[in-house]
Amino acid sequence: MKQRIYDSRAQEVVDFEPRTPGEVGLYVCGPTVQSAPHVGHLRSALVYDQMRRWFEATGHRVTLIRNVTDIDDKILDNARAAQAEGGREEWWALAYRVEREFTAAYDALGILPPSYEPRATANIAEMVSLIERLIERGHAYRAADGSASVYFDTASWPEYGELTRQRREQMEDAADSEPVGKRDPRDFALWKAHRDSEPSSASWQSPWGPGRPGWHIECSAMATRYLGEEFDIHGGGLDLRFPHHENELAQSRAAGQPFARHWIHNGLVNTGGQKMSKSLGNSLFAADLLAAARPIVLRYFLGSAHYRSVLEYSETSLDEAAAAFERIEGFLDRAERLVGPRSSAAVRDLAVDDLPSAFAEALFDDFGIPQALAVLHTTVREGNAAMDRGERLDLEDVKRKADQVVAMLGVLGLDPEDSAWGAADASGATGMLGVLVDALLQQRSEARADKDFATSDAIRDRLQAAGITLEDTPTGTRWSLT
C-alpha cells in the first residue's frame, strides 16, 4: 500500500513518495524554551514520534530534526522579569533549564530522541549566510532607520501566502518587531539589531552590525543545514501555519531552495471546550499531567485522536484512558499465564504484513491512529473471547492474537514491557510474585481435591486480601492483580 498524508499546502490527502527511496527526512518545529512544557508541546512531539515509528516499521530510515529556539524575545523578557524580582538566572541559563524540562517530559512519554536537535544559538552563521543570500537576490533589505535590522521584503515575493492561501493585502502586520525601518508593516524580521536594554550575551556580530536572528529564519537555516535544500516533510502545530511556516516557506523559496515537499500540521488541545491558552489560565502543564497518570497512559491519551483533529481534555480523560489501557494489559496478562511468556524479539521481528490488515491500512491512510486503536481493541476482545472457550480453547489462536496486540503496541510506542517504561524491574517483580502465587494455587487445588474447602477458602481469602483476584475456569485457576 502507498502511504497517504494530508499536505497542508495542497490542502488534500496525497500519495507520499520519499525524495530518496527508503529514506524520510522530517523537520519538526520544536519548542521555544521560555517556560515549562504544556500538553500542547507534548501532543505535537508525540504526533511526529508516531509518524516516525510507522515510517520505520514500514522499512524507512528516518532522519528527524527537531530544533530548539533558545534565543527569543520571550526568553529575554522572562529572564528580565525574574531578575527584577530578585532572581539571578541569565537568559541562557533559563533557556537551558527549560530545555531540560522539555527533554525530561519527552523521555517520560517514550518519545524517541530526534536524530539531531540543533539549537538556534549554534547556527547563527548559517542564518547570516541565508540572509546575505536573500539580500543579494533582492528579497531582503537593511532597515531604513540605519540600524542593523534586516527585513524580508514580502512584496518582492509574488507567492507569499501560498501555504495558507492568503493574499498579502489581507494579512495582518508582522508583530515580531517594531515597524520602524520597514518598507511595509507586513515585512518580517530576519535580523534584529541589538538593543541597549538587552544583555550583550544575547548579541552576535553580522555584516549589518550586532544583533540576533529573527524567529522565522532559524528554522529555514537549520532545516537546510541538516536535511538539505529539499527534504520530505516539514511538521509542526497548527498554530504555526501563519506566520511562522508561511514565512519559512517564503524566505527559503526566495533564496532559491525547493525546501519541504510536504507540510503537515497537528491539531491543538482544548480544555473544557476552550482552546488552551495562558490568557485564559487553562494551560495543562506536563509536570501536572505526568503526576496525574502513568506516563504510558498519558501517551495513550495524547496519541488517541487523529493528529489533525482537536484533542479534547476533560477531568475524566485520563481515567478513561487508564481504563482502556488496563483492558489491553489485562488481556496480555491473561494470555501470558495461559500460553507462556512472549518473546519480545520475535514480536519485534514481525513484518507489517503480519499485523492485522485493517491496522496497517489505517496508518497508511494519513496515520489514522483512532482506527488503528479500534483494531487493537477488537483484537483484544477477540483474544479474551478465545480464552473463554473452555474445552474449545485454541492456544495458538490466543498466542497469535497476543503477538498481534504486542506488535501493534510496539508500532504505537505503547508496549508496556518496553524498557522505556522501566518495565524490566516490574516484570521481574511480577515473575517472583507469580512463583509465590502459583505455589499457593497448587495448595488450594490439592485442598479442593481433598474436599478441604475451609483451607481452599482460606487461601483464596489470603490472596484477595493481598490484592489478587482468582478466576476459576475449566482450564484451571487464573489470577490477576486488582
CB 74 within 8 A of CB 53: no
Task: Confirm whether 433 is domain-assigned.
Answer: yes
CATH number at residue 155: 3.40.50.620
Whether 426 has a pLDDT exceeding 60, the answer reads no
- Mean pLDDT of all residues belonging to the chain: 90
Q: Among residues 242, 266, 290, which one ends one of the domains?
A: 266
Domain count, the chain: 2
- Could you write out the DSSP letters of every residue in 434-460? HHHHHHHHHHHHHHHHTT-HHHHHHHH
In a domain, 162, yes or no: yes
Where residue 475 falls among pLDDT bands split at 50, 70, 90?
low
pLDDT per residue as tens digits for the range 345-385: 655 666 777 899 999 999 999 999 999 999 999 999 999 99
Q: Is the pLDDT of residue 171 over 60?
A: yes
Query: Per-residue pLDDT for 176 more than 90?
Result: no
Residue-level pLDDT at 452? 83
pLDDT per position as a tens digit, 107-155: 999 999 999 999 999 999 999 999 999 999 999 999 998 999 999 999 9
Does a structural domain hold residue 368?
A: no
- Give the lowest-confidence range in 233-247, 272-286, 424-438: 424-438
| pLDDT of 103 | 95
Boundary-marking domain end, from 232, 266, 300: 266
Helix (H) or strand (E) holding 213, with range, is strand 211-213
* Structural domain includes residue 303: no
Peptide bond into 243 cis (omega under 30): yes
pLDDT for residue 462: 79
Share of residues in the chain with pLDDT > 90 (%): 70
291 is a domain residue: no
445: pLDDT confidence band, cut at 50, 70 and 90? Answer: confident
The mean pLDDT of 429-453, rounded to a whole number, is 71
> Percent of the chain having pLDDT more than 70?
91
Residue 445 covered by a domain: yes
Q: Considering only 91-95, 305-309, 397-401, 464-468, which range has the smallest mean pLDDT?
A: 464-468
Tell me whether strands 23-28 and 61-66 are parallel, antiparallel or unpaired.
Answer: parallel
Cell reading at 326: 488496563
Q: What is the pLDDT of residue 327?
A: 96
Binned at pLDDT 50, 70 and 90, residue 482 comes out as: low
Nearest-angstrom CA–CA distance, 54 and 33: 28
- Whole-number pLDDT of residue 222: 98
Do the domain assignments include residue 192?
A: yes
pLDDT at residue 429, as a whole number: 46
pLDDT for 410: 93
Domain enclosing residue 150, as ranges: 4-266
What is the Cα–Cα distance from 255 to 130, expressed in whole angstroms?
7
Q: How far apart are CA 23 and CA 27, in angstroms?
A: 13
Is position 374 within any domain? no
Q: Could you give the CA distance from residue 162 to residue 9 in angstroms, rounded to a whole number?
A: 7
Find the range with the poorest average confidence among 257-271, 326-340, 457-471. Answer: 457-471
Answer whether residue 458 shows pLDDT above 90: no
**How would residue 225 be classed by pLDDT, with cut points 50, 70 and 90?**
very high
Domain boundary among 207, 237, 266: 266
